[in-house]
């Protein structure tokens, strides 16, 4: 949040039974932030419940608080300066977009991923692929109040993402009448098989893409020019330094701590990310 000039109203920290020293540090952070602009809410699990449970808990909080905007983030993401300002501008100047991925992921640059694996995942879940896929994964300049921001439509996102919850409710829940369908499929995304310790970001993002397209077609929205998910592609808003992926399944010998996703980010996250500016962007980047 220190790299966001715009501050959220609330920050919900969900800790899944970390080392006691970590939990003490989180408690001290929350206590020391009681007079801060952002209200800190801390949830400490007494035993490890797993990623899927944490995602489900987070979305239960979303239901209760009912915010306009939701930022879903894991603890090992680095965010560049001005990231939230860019996100807000993209939402403002792309009025039909309902979500922005939490990082510019290399999977979004690999045709074998987005034309094959992502398509099969959509078909497996809904019996058909989305019709807008041929128009996705093609960068274009979105004209905003912050200048041109390079973006492209995507069908899938990593687990970390920014959701325009107000639009999700207006478009999908009310306009399409698909609130029950949304939560039914999200429930599947919260766990892999019957294992609630794991989650599927592929299923969670497929739900939004599929239902958004149904709403868009119902309302004669041009799906060749408008997208439910828009990825910010000229300077990734974040970098994932995780070991093990969303569910910790990667081989730690091949992917050491802090290096699992080195090579996944396609070189668009600024190396000098704390001082990056859209007016004077840094030329170097990490994650090549």
Distances (CA, A) of 265 to 77, 104, 105, 142, 202: 12, 6, 5, 21, 18
Q: Are residues 39 and 77 in the same domain?
A: no
Are residue 17 and residue 111 in the same domain, yes or no? no
Mean pLDDT on 45-60: 91
Q: What percent of the chain has pLDDT over 90?
A: 64
What sign for the dihedral angle of Cα 84, 207, 120, 141? negative
In this prediction, residue 261 carries a pLDDT of 45
Instruction: Identify whether 59 is part of a domain.
Output: no
Higher pLDDT: 129 or 76? It is 129
pLDDT at 191: 78
* In-domain check, residue 132: yes
Read off the pLDDT band of 37 (50, 70, 90): confident
**Structural domain of 3:** 1-48
- With a cut of 50, say whether residue 285 has pLDDT above it: no
Predicted local distance difference test score (pLDDT) of residue 221: 98
Average pLDDT, the chain: 87
Question: Over 60: is that where the pLDDT of 260 sits?
Answer: no
Query: Domain check: are 27 and 168 in the same one?
Result: no
Q: Are residues 20 and 75 in the same domain?
A: no
Q: Are residues 23 and 163 in the same domain?
A: no
Give the count of domains, the chain: 2
Q: At what angle do helices 179-189 and 201-218 cross, to 10 degrees?
A: 160
Q: Does residue 270 register a pLDDT over 50?
A: yes
Whether 54 is covered by a domain: the verdict is no
Is residue 207 predicted with pLDDT exceeding 80? yes
Whether residue 279 is contained in a domain is answered as yes
Residue 134 and residue 42 share a domain: no
Domain membership flag for residue 63 = no
Q: Does residue 226 belong to any structural domain of this protein?
A: yes
Q: What is the pTM for the complete model shown?
A: 0.90
Residues 195 and 280 in one domain: yes
40 and 88 fall within a common domain: no
- The stretch 114-137 carries a mean pLDDT of 96
Same domain assignment for residues 198 and 271: yes
* The predicted structure's pLDDT at residue 262: 45
The answer on 266 and 198 residing in a single domain is: yes
Give the whole-angstrom CA distance, residue 64 versus residue 82.
29
Predicted pLDDT of residue 175: 98
Report whether pLDDT(253) > 80.
no
């Amino acid at each position: 949040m220190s790299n966001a000039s715009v501050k959220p109203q609330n920050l919900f920290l969900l800790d899944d039974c970390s080392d006691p020293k970590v939990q003490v540090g989180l408690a001290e952070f929350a206590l020391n932030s009681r007079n801060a602009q952002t209200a800190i809410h801390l949830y400490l699990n007494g035993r490890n419940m797993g990623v899927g449970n944490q995602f489900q808990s987070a979305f239960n909080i979303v239901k209760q608080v009912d915010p306009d905007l939701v930022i879903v983030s894991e603890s090992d993401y680095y965010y560049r300066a001005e990231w939230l300002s860019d996100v807000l501008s993209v939402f403002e100047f792309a009025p039909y977009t309902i979500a922005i991925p939490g990082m510019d992921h290399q999977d979004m640059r690999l045709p074998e991923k987005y034309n094959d694996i992502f398509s099969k995942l959509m078909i497996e879940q809904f019996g058909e692929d989305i019709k807008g896929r041929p128009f996705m994964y093609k960068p274009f300049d979105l004209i905003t109040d912050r200048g041109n921001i390079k973006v492209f439509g995507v069908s899938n996102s990593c687990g970390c993402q920014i959701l325009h919850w107000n639009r999700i409710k207006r478009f999908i829940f009310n306009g399409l009448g698909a609130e029950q369908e949304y939560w039914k499929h999200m429930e599947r995304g919260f766990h892999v098989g019957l294992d609630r310790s794991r989650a599927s970001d592929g299923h969670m993002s497929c739900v939004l893409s599929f239902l958004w397209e149904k709403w868009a077609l119902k309302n004669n929205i041009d799906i060749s020019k408008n997208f439910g998910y828009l990825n910010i592609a000229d300077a990734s808003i974040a970098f994932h330094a995780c070991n093990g992926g969303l569910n910790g399944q990667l081989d730690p010998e091949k992917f050491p701590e802090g290096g699992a996703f080195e090579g996944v980010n396609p070189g668009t996250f600024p190396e000098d990310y704390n001082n990056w500016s859209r007016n004077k962007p840094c030329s170097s980047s990490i994650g090549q």
